[in-house]
Structure 1
Amino acid sequence: MNDSASLPAANATLMFQEAQQTADVVTAQYARNEATIARLAADLRANPPPFVVTCARGSSDHAATYAKYLFETQLGFVTASASPSVGSVYEARQQLKDALYIVISQSGKSPDLLHNARAAAAAGARVVAFVNVEDSPLAELAQTVIPLHAGPERSVAATKSYLASLAAILQLGAHWKDEGPLREALGKLPDSLRAAWQADWSALTDGLVDAHNLFVLGRGLGLAAAQEAALKFKETCGLHAEAYSSAEVKHGPMALVGPGFPVLCFAQPDETEAGTLALAKEFRARGAQVWVAAEHADPSAGPGQSLALAKAPHPACSPLLTIQSYYRAINALALRRGFNPDVPPHLNKVTETV
């Protein structure tokens, strides 16, 4: 925690400046990766994998959660998350013949991810790397490289590189499915991200200045946004937050939700939305302090409890818009709580695990 006099202005942090670049990053990324994505997608349609595996850590693993729900709901391919330690520590061989093995990493040099990527290739999987550093060791060993093109990111808190990961996964999913609505949404996404950056979530910032704990809830495609938000609360604000599916929270954790307990809900604008709004209403009836980010009206919300969510060109785009608005709010919250979001205590920009 810092003396507030030594903290930068909200719009002067690296986190703010880098997150603000996301729409331009995605525009450039889509143009530069179009040919590579199209080739990969065409081959995946011609030679479908039996299943998809993701391998990642930290924010990149939250992007992998998004990939799971996108590929399963839009394409029907079972997508599982590989635990890196199974390969790098236990050295257990996996049955991966012909699987699509997606490794997501900003730096592309964590030893455990590299070990698993090599093992997957040796087991007959097709290894695809989503990576920000194009000349990294991971990029060198992957069969197909999808560069994130996020550019240098100096704040320890990943923002544009996380959203660039989601955007690249969305581009692959849209081309792989090869149907109009999802493909058309790609061209509209950058402007939607710009609108999301302008959303006013100051009610959330004001409400959490003195908080100690909270839940962040999402479901389906929106779960990745909840996971990322919970991490950033801890990382940038020193605020303990836990992410749950709005269905899973009912299996025990909601016993903690009572008067004054803070809950942030991300209502994904799809088949899961009604259930999330119903849960928000239930928690408000217990006296909990609940904020809901939703495209549509939240009928149980009181003053300051609704967070504007930019309209998505397709429901699969909504998690990106949610997090873009969230990043601006969390940057402001960190400073209000006396933290510099660019330099969280005890953390480095690149984390290498074995």
Structure 2
Amino acid sequence: MSLSFEKLQGTYLNDLLAQPAALRRTAESLAPEPALEAVAGNLRAGRLHRVVLTGMGGSYHLLTPLHLRLTAAGFDSILVETSELLHAMPALLHPRNVVLALSQSGASAEIVRLIEHEGPLYLGVTNTPGSPLARKAHAVVFTQAGEEGGVACKTSVTALVALDWVARHFEAGLLEKWDPSRAADAYLSRWREHVAALVSQLDGVERAFFTGRGPSMAAAGLGAMLQKEAAHFHGEGMSSAALRHGPFEMLGPGSLAVVYEGTVGRNLNIRLVDDVRATGAKSFLCGPSAEDGPFRLSEANPVLELLPAQMLSLAAAYRAGREPGKFERITKVTDAE
């Protein structure tokens, strides 16, 4: 299909294509953080009790891989939206707990309210030095996403690299930096081809589902959110198992499901693709085993898994005649609870 790619030009596309450079900068900037190692030691010794991971919107979804890794390493980890933490679970803001907050601005309404609470030991991951979160936190890991014009993309992928760095301070082993920039660059070098293919695949599609298991839950949640933010196209993100419990009734012509192959329950995810197609819906496996095209990834990791969802948001915006990523009702930083 021949597309007029000029329709997609703008801040969002520029930010998407700048992701590999942002990933490289972030990986290069990372340095060992003794304060994180000390926190891990105090948790192991029982002087601190649990780790509470918190964020809002996309930040909440991005914390899933860290939550799983901390749990696997033997730490008591809980993942909760910041608003729920404040209003429904304030008992977690205990002096023996560690609260790690992820916020690209470090200044969203809930984060500012959170750090007003004295008691827990705060850790931060943010793109904004000098922000309220950066000033309050006992230790901070900064991303190097640079300026971002609207819908989060550079800040999302760089946050995953920063959170991986945090995880390595808590796990036994060497501190090795993770830099997926080369793989991201290779995928995005074909962005026109990917978008053109997806514009065709969206023919007749009214809604999209994004599903995965384990670390892929980050892409499932944020991938759906991207469609709404960047293209005003309805998407839902959930676990692959959850799709079978209720939402499966919605499937059929007019539906599209992106199922992340991932590293957990791979065979179950592959079978889900076939079962979704049997309803008359379109379904695509996203990962190394996918057919060549926009859903084929060189490896299954949370950063690369976000890229096809970004391409789908461009395609959805193109079909709707919208400028992708242009905010109409919200702003970059949410300042109201």
What SS is found at the alignment partner of 1:35?
Answer: coil
Alignment CA distance shift 1:306-1:282 (3 Å): farther
Which range is displaced more, 110-119 or 286-295?
Answer: 110-119
Instruction: Give CA-to-partner distance per residue, 1:264-322, whole Å, 9 cap, x none.
Output: 11111x23211111111111122221112121257xxxxx898211225xxxxx11011
Say if 1:86 and 1:220 are closer, same or farther in 2 by CA, change over 3 A: closer
Tell me the CA shift for residue 71 of structure 1: 2.5
CA distance in 2, matches of 1:185, 1:139: 22
Give the 3 Å change call, closer, same or farther, for CA 79–215 of structure 1 in structure 2.
same
Alignment of 1:17 with 2:14, yes or no, is yes
**Equivalents in 2 of 1:325, 1:233: separation in Å?**
11
Partner residue of 2:184 out of 176, 193, 200: 193
Deviation at 1:45, TM superposition (A): 3.8
1:155-174 equivalent positions in 2, closer than 5 A: 156-174=150-168
Counterpart position of 2:116 = 118
- Is residue 103 from structure 1 mapped to residue 101 from structure 2 by the alignment? yes
Name the count of aligned residue pairs. Answer: 328
The alignment status of 1:132 with 2:131, answered yes or no, reads no
The residue type equivalent to 2:328 in the other structure is P
Counterpart for residue 25 of structure 2: 28
Q: How many angstroms apart in 1 are the aligned matches of 2:333 and 2:271?
A: 40
Q: CA deviation at 1:91?
A: 9.0
Q: Deviations over 1:205-256 (max 9, x none)?
A: 3212542212111111001101111011111222111111001122211111
Letter in 1 for 2:29: R
Corresponding residue for residue 223 of structure 1: 217
AA partner of residue 157 (structure 2) = L
Please say if residues 105 and 132 of structure 1, whose CA atoms lie closer than 8 Å, have aligned partners that are also in contact.
Answer: yes
Cα distance in 2 for residues equivalent to 1:272 and 1:339: 37
Q: Which residue of 2 aligns with 1:348?
A: 331
Q: 1:209 to 1:96 in 2, by over 3 A?
A: farther
C-alpha separation in 1, matches of 2:121 and 2:248: 41
Counterparts of 2:137 and 2:39 in 1: how far apart (Å)? Answer: 16
Contact kept? 2:125, 2:140, Cα under 8 Å:
yes
Moved over 6 A (4+): none
The alignment's C-alpha RMSD in Å is 2.6
Matched with 1:79 is 77
Tell me the secondary structure at the aligned position of residue 295 of structure 2.
Answer: strand
After TM superposition, give the deviation of residue 137 of structure 1 in Å: 1.4
Q: Deviations over 1:126-148 (max 9, x none)?
A: 21111111111121111112111
State the distance in 1 between where 2:77 and 2:67 align.
5
**Aligned partners of 1:52 and 1:80 also within 8 Å:** yes
Deviations along 1:51-73, whole A, 9 cap, x unmatched? 22122111111112332223224
Q: Which residue of 2 aligns with 1:249?
A: 243
Q: Could you tell me how far 1:262 is from its partner in structure 2? A: 1.5
Corresponding residue for residue 92 of structure 2: 94
TM-aligned CA distance change 1:191 to 1:197, over 3 Å: same
Task: Report what 1:301 is aligned to.
Answer: none
Matches of residues 33-48 of structure 1 in structure 2 within 5 Å?
A: 33-36=30-33, 39-48=34-43
Once the 2 structures are TM-superposed, how far is the Cα of residue 92 of structure 1 from its aligned partner?
4.0
Shift of 1:79: 2.4
2:278 equivalent to 1:291? no
Task: Give unmatched runs, 5+ long, in structure 2.
Answer: none
Where 2:333 maps in the other structure, the secondary structure is coil
8 A contact 2:205–2:253 mirrored in 1? no
1:24, CA displacement in angstroms?
A: 1.8
Q: Deviation of residue 184 (structure 1)? A: 5.0
